[in-house]
Amino acid sequence: MEARVGESFRFPLSVIDGIRLEKPLRDVLLPGRIVYDDSGHARRLPRYFYEIPSWEQAMKVQLSPSFALWEFIQTDVREAAPLRGFPRYIPCAITLLAASLERFREAVGTFVHIAANGGYRSPRHALSVNATTHCWGTAVNIYRIGDMYLDDRESIERYAALARQVLPGAWTRPFGNTRGQTDDHLHLDVGYVLSMPRGAPERSLGFSAERRAV
Our CB check for other proteins shows the closer of 8 and 177 to be 177
Q: Is 78 in the site for other proteins (CB under 8 A)?
A: yes
Our CB check for other proteins shows the closer of 13 and 114 to be 114
Beta strands in the chain (DSSP E): 14-17, 34-36, 42-44, 48-52, 88-91, 112-114, 139-145, 148-149, 171-172, 186-189
Please name the residue ranges forming H helices in 109-186.
Answer: 153-166
Q: How far is the CB of 78 from other proteins (least distance, A)?
A: 8
Binding mask 83-122 for other proteins (x = CB under 8 A): ------------------------------x-xxxx----
Determine the Cα angle at 159 with ends 154 and 164, to 5°: 130
Residue choice 77, 209, 213, 214 for contact with other proteins (CB under 8 A): 77
Residue choice 38, 56, 106, 184 for contact with other proteins (CB under 8 A): 184
The answer to whether the Cα torsion of 14, 76, 70, 165 is positive or negative is positive
Distance CA 170, CA 95 (A): 15
Residue choice 4, 40, 109, 177 for contact with other proteins (CB under 8 A): 177
Distance CA 135, CA 90 (A): 9
Distance CA 44, CA 52 (A): 23
Q: How far is the CB of 183 from other proteins (least distance, A)?
A: 7
Q: Are 133 and 140 in contact (CB under 8 A)?
A: no
Binding mask 20-59 for other proteins (x = CB under 8 A): ----------------------------------------
Residue choice 74, 130, 155, 204 for contact with other proteins (CB under 8 A): 74
Our CB check for other proteins shows the closer of 56 and 76 to be 76
In the β-sheet with 14-17, what is the strand arrangement from edge to edge? 14-17, 48-52, 88-91
Residues that bind other proteins (CB under 8 A): 74, 76-78, 113, 115-118, 143-144, 149, 151, 177, 183-185
